[in-house]
C-alpha cells in the first residue's frame, strides 16, 4: 500500500457577509444570543447567481495551484455536498468539465457535515491501492439555499463555502494513518430536509409547509455531537497506534463553539491545539473542515511531521475522524 497525503489545499468563500445584526432584521434573535449559544458572529452567503459548483470550482483551482498539479493529471473528483446544483448530473461532473479534468472519474458523496471526511477516506483508498495517482476532494455546501429564513433555530447557524484538497502519493510514514467512519440512520430524523426526494416529492403543499428546508432537533444533535467528536477521535488515534498526547492539531467540524469546547474538555486536549474559525463562517457543512484546514495551512501553523486529526459529525447521522502526519 502506498502512503497517501494532502498535496495542496484551497478554499473559496462567497463575498457577501451576513452578520448576526443582519439576522436580527429577519427573525426574532439577537447578536448576544447567537454569540453566546453558538460562537458564530457572521457567515458568508452565496450570490444569487452563484451555485454550489461555482464555489467548488474556485476552491479546487486554488488547491490544484497549491499542489502544483494540473487538472489533466487528476484521476478522481469527489464532491461531498448535500446541496448539489441539481439532483443530477452530479456536481462533480460539472466541476470536472469546468476544470478541464479530462480523464477524471466523478461522483458526489452525501454524508452531510461528515462528507469531507468520507470523501478523503474514499479517495485515499484508490491512491493507496495504486488504482489512481491524484484525486481532488471538495467539501462544498450552499446551505443558505435550503434554510427556512423564518426559523431562528436553524437559519442563524449555517453559511456557504467550499474547501478542496488534492490527494496523492507521499513519502512513506507521512499522510493518512487511520480512518474512523460511522453512520446511524436511526437518528436520521434529528436533522433532515423532509421533502423534495422520492419519499415526499415537491408539491404546492410541501412548499407551503416549508418542508424543503433544514429541520433539526438542536439539543439532541448537540448531545450526539459532543459524544462522537471525542469517541471518533479516540478510535482514529487508537487505529493509528497513537494517543491524544501525539496530537499537534485537531480540526473539528465547525458547528458550534460549545460543542467543540465540550468535546475537547471531555477528551482532555489543550485548546490551543484546536483550530476554530466558526466565528467568521458559521457551519458550512462539508466545507467546514477543509476551509479550516486551508486557513491553518495559509497561516503556516502546520509543520511537516505534525500529527493532525480531522473529526466531524453531521446529518445521517454520520460521524468520523482521520489521523494524518503532515
Question: Any idea which residues carry the catalytic annotation?
Answer: 113, 253, 283
Smallest distance from the beta carbon of 111 to ligand ACO, in angstroms?
A: 9
What mask of x and - would describe binding to ligand ACO in positions 105 to 144, judged by CB under 6 A?
-------xx-------------------------------
C-alpha span between 163 and 295 (Å, rounded):
10
Smallest distance from the beta carbon of 27 to ligand ACO, in angstroms?
A: 6
Dihedrals phi, psi of 220, to nearest 5 degrees: -65, -40
Kindly indicate which of the ranges 31-39, 88-96, 199-207, 294-302 contains the residues binding ligand ACO, using the contact rule CB under 6 A.
31-39
Task: Please give the span between the terminal C-alpha atoms of the chain, in angstroms, as a whole number.
Answer: 18
Kindly indicate which of the ranges 47-55, 66-74, 152-160, 242-250 contains the residues binding ligand ACO, using the contact rule CB under 6 A.
152-160
Count the site residues for ligand ACO by CB under 6 A.
Answer: 23
Establish how many alpha carbons lie within 13 A of residue 278's alpha carbon, considering only the half-sphere containing its beta carbon.
30
Q: Which of 5, 119, 314, 320 binds ligand ACO (CB under 6 A)?
A: 314
Kindly indicate which of the ranges 7-15, 34-42, 95-103, 205-213 contains the residues binding ligand ACO, using the contact rule CB under 6 A.
34-42
CB of 90 or CB of 112, closer to ligand ACO? 112
Query: By three-state DSSP, how is residue 264 classified?
Result: helix
Smallest distance from the beta carbon of 46 to ligand ACO, in angstroms?
A: 16
Smallest distance from the beta carbon of 162 to ligand ACO, in angstroms?
A: 16
Establish how many alpha carbons lie within 13 A of residue 129's alpha carbon, considering only the half-sphere containing its beta carbon.
7
C-alpha span between 200 and 173 (Å, rounded):
48
CB of 126 closer than 8 Å to CB of 132: yes
C-alpha span between 189 and 265 (Å, rounded):
28
Residue 145 touching ligand ACO (CB under 6 A): no
Number of residues that make up the chain: 326
Q: Which of 213, 285, 294, 322 binds ligand ACO (CB under 6 A)?
A: 285
Give the list of residues 6+ apart from residue 192 with CB closer than 8 angstroms, or none.
Answer: 214, 215, 216, 315
CA distances from 247 to 118, 264, 322 (A): 21, 12, 12
Residues 182-201 that bind ligand ACO (CB under 6 A): 191
Residues 200-239 that bind ligand ACO (CB under 6 A): 216, 218-219, 221-222, 225
C-alpha span between 132 and 149 (Å, rounded):
43
Smallest distance from the beta carbon of 50 to ligand ACO, in angstroms?
A: 20
Q: Which of 153, 206, 246, 277 binds ligand ACO (CB under 6 A)?
A: 153
Residue 37 touching ligand ACO (CB under 6 A): yes
C-alpha span between 6 and 63 (Å, rounded):
10
CB of 174 or CB of 222, closer to ligand ACO? 222
Give the list of residues 6+ apart from residue 166 with CB closer than 8 angstroms, or none.
Answer: 6, 7, 8, 9, 63, 64, 66, 67, 69, 74, 134, 135, 136
Which residues on neighbouring strands pair with residue 165, listed in sequence order? Answer: 9, 137
Report the interface residues with ligand ACO, using CB under 6 A.
29, 33-34, 37-38, 112-113, 152-153, 156, 191, 216, 218-219, 221-222, 225, 255-256, 283, 285, 314-315
Amino acid at each position: 500500500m502506498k502512503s497517501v497525503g494532502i498535496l495542496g489545499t484551497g478554499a473559496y468563500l462567497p463575498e457577501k457577509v451576513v452578520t448576526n445584526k443582519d439576522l436580527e432584521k429577519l427573525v426574532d434573535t439577537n447578536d448576544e444570543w447567537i454569540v453566546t449559544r453558538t460562537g458564530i458572529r457572521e457567515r458568508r452567503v452565496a450570490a444569487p447567481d452563484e451555485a454550489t459548483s461555482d464555489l467548488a470550482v474556485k476552491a479546487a483551482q486554488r488547491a490544484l495551484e497549491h499542489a502544483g498539479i494540473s487538472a489533466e493529471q487528476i484521476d478522481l473528483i469527489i464532491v461531498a455536498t448535500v446541496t448539489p446544483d441539481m439532483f443530477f448530473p452530479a456536481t462533480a461532473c460539472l466541476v470536472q468539465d469546468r476544470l478541464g479534468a479530462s480523464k477524471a472519474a466523478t461522483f458526489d458523496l452525501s454524508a452531510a457535515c461528515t462528507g469531507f471526511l468520507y470523501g478523503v477516506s474514499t479517495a485515499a483508498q484508490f491512491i493507496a491501492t495504486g488504482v489512481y495517482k491524484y484525486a481532488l476532494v471538495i467539501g462544498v455546501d450552499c446551505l443558505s439555499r435550503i434554510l427556512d429564513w423564518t426559523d431562528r433555530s436553524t437559519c442563524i447557524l449555517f453559511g456557504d463555502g467550499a474547501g478542496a484538497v488534492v490527494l496523492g502519493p507521499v513519502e512513506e510514514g507521512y499522510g493518512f494513518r487511520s480512518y474512523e467512519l460511522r453512520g446511524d440512520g436511526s437518528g436520521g430524523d434529528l436533522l433532515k430536509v423532509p421533502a423534495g426526494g422520492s419519499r415526499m416529492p415537491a408539491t404546492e403543499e410541501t412548499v407551503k409547509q416549508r418542508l424543503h428546508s433544514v429541520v433539526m432537533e438542536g439539543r439532541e444533535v448537540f448531545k450526539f455531537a459532543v459524544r462522537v467528536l471525542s469517541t471518533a477521535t479516540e478510535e482514529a488515534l487508537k487505529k493509528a497506534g497513537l494517543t491524544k498526547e501525539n496530537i499537534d492539531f485537531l480540526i473539528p467540524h465547525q458547528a458550534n463553539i460549545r460543542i467543540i469546547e465540550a468535546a475537547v474538555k471531555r477528551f482532555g486536549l489543550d485548546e490551543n491545539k484546536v483550530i476554530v474559525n466558526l466565528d467568521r463562517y458559521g457551519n458550512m457543512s462539508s466545507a467546514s473542515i477543509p476551509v479550516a484546514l486551508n486557513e491553518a495551512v495559509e497561516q503556516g501553523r502546520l509543520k511537516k511531521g505534525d500529527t493532525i486529526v480531522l473529526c466531524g459529525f453531521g446529518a445521517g447521522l454520520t460521524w468520523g475522524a482521520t489521523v494524518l502526519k503532515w
